[in-house]
Chain A
Amino acid sequence: MNVLLDYLPEFRNGFLGTVSLTAASAALAILLGLLIAGFRVSPVPPLRAFGTAWVTLLRNTPLTLLFLVAFFVVPQVLFPGTSPFVLATLALGFYTSSFVCEAVRSGINTVPLGQAEAARSIGMTFIQTLRMIILPQATRTVLPPLSSILIALTKNSAIAGAFSNTELFNVSKLLNDQGRPIGWIFLWIALAYLIITFAISGIFRLLERRLEVAR
């Protein structure tokens, strides 16, 4: 108990760090995931190939390796001095985008064929079909997997703590260096993660209920 009370500011900063890191990389992952999913079903072959390569590469690379890329290679390509938060968001967002892409793509596959056919028959283009007919209906099936992807992302964000970001793993390292008992630290950190993951699944359950339509 003492550990939490004595280091409340650190815990708060770590908690906020994890939340903001998760939120930023979730936004990036969902945007990129949608885009790449669009690429993967598009009528343009090079974009399809690019999407497939993207997903295969990122899904089979350990996230820690992506963090190495983000922290040692990206600054050389763009410009040095990018903040660790941005670099960690890039690594987490890119990694998670491949999973989001696959979830969206399988969601697209669950929309009845007739919907796309009807859209085409009234003369809609590919982008119109996707944006106005398919994706809104796919949302419903994409939500549950997206929720578990975001929870996995929350847990993955712990790796960012090893790359000079302030978040919960970093806090546990800091407190351990201060000689605090690891058992209590572990317990409080675990609780903090549980709060975030429960919040995410709660939000998604709410969304699912809102979008529920009798079919």
Chain B
Amino acid sequence: MTSVLYDAPGPKAKVRNRVYTVVGALAVVGLLVFVVLRLAAKGQFAPEMWNIFNNAGVRTNIRNGVLTTLQVFAVAAVLSLVLGVLLAVARLSEHKPVRWLATGFIEVFRAVPLLITIYALWVILLSYKEELGLTGDSPQFWALVVGLTVYNGAVQAEVLRAGINAVPRGQREAAYALGMSKTQVMTTVLMPQAIRAMLPTIISQLVVTLKDTSLGYVITFEELLYTIQQMASTIVVNDENPYVPMIIVAGAIYVVMCLALSALATWIERRGRRSRTGIAVAGVAEPVTASDALEGADGTLGGPVDTRRPPDIPPVGGGGGAGN
């Protein structure tokens, strides 16, 4: 598509493009050089500044930060998927009260910024610390985990619901005709296909979960970002705080973790496209919002069964941007 926007360059255009190439490259490099020079002038690239990473204590702290982040992510991911399945099933329930409760829960927690939820949970957990037997930084841990769980659970529920709705009606009817119970139909016919079709989107949302663990910084939970910030503000090298080295290292760690998870989603999508069974696997979309992700899906569904309708995009109250 991109090449359609401009002609195959002739001799004149080739020269012009070459000029633009040089100018563009110079502009990009110039910007980088400016930033690097300014930071170097502040001593942020001095060898001593980077030597702090040879310190065993600094390394241990970073390792602990990464492990804590991954721990929060693992617990929150599992819990949010469980909650997501429960909410999706509840929202499709035949009992009105259950459906309303699930819908209300999903809409409320998707509409409120995650940070506000986490903060409110933290305050509540702190005030009931003794009763719940929480010690040390476990109020922060659980506030973060529960906050991530309710928010991402609500988003995953919408994703799964779209997946379940994408399973052709005939399958459900056939299963009922065989005499299966509602639970059997859900667990053996609908859910497996929905999860398989939506796996790329589910993983994209897990990337969002991973990124959002950094909100623990705000409630002083010692995950990677908070650890980094604490170290950067306490260590002093040449009368300067090593903010730039610390942030570059933390950023690289986050980017690598997120890219690894996204790569998994892409791989599963490609694998799903090759297979010839089941409903089409949704495309990996930007982890902007769950609803967005699904919108992207209908354009990229190159799956084995093109005639089937793409997953419905659930209408979302409050405009429902899930977003980071």
Contacts and interface: CB of A to CB of B under 8 A. Distances in A.
Contacts of A43: 5-6, 9, 17, 20
B323 A151 contact: yes
A45 interface: yes
A41 B2 contact: yes
Contacts of B299: 106, 109-110
Interface of B: 1-2, 4-7, 9, 17, 20-21, 24-25, 28, 34-35, 38-39, 42, 44, 108, 111-117, 119-120, 123-124, 207, 211-215, 217-218, 225, 228-229, 232, 241, 243-244, 247, 250-251, 254-255, 258-259, 262, 286-289, 291-292, 295-296, 299, 318-324
B112 A193 contact: yes
Interface of A: 40-41, 43-47, 50, 56-57, 59-65, 68-69, 72-73, 76-77, 99, 102-103, 106, 108-110, 113, 116-117, 120, 125-126, 129-130, 134, 144-145, 147-159, 161-162, 168-169, 172-173, 176, 182-183, 185-186, 189-190, 193-194, 197-198, 200-201, 204
Given A46-B25, A62-B211, A190-B111, A148 B218 contact: no
A204 B44 CA distance: 44
Contacts of B4: 113, 116-117, 120
Contacts, number: 213
A143 to B, nearest CB: 12
A73 B230 CA distance: 15
Contact of A186 (B25, B35, B120): B120
A64 B215 contact: yes
Given A60-B262, A193-B112, A68 B320 contact: no
A148 B288 contact: yes
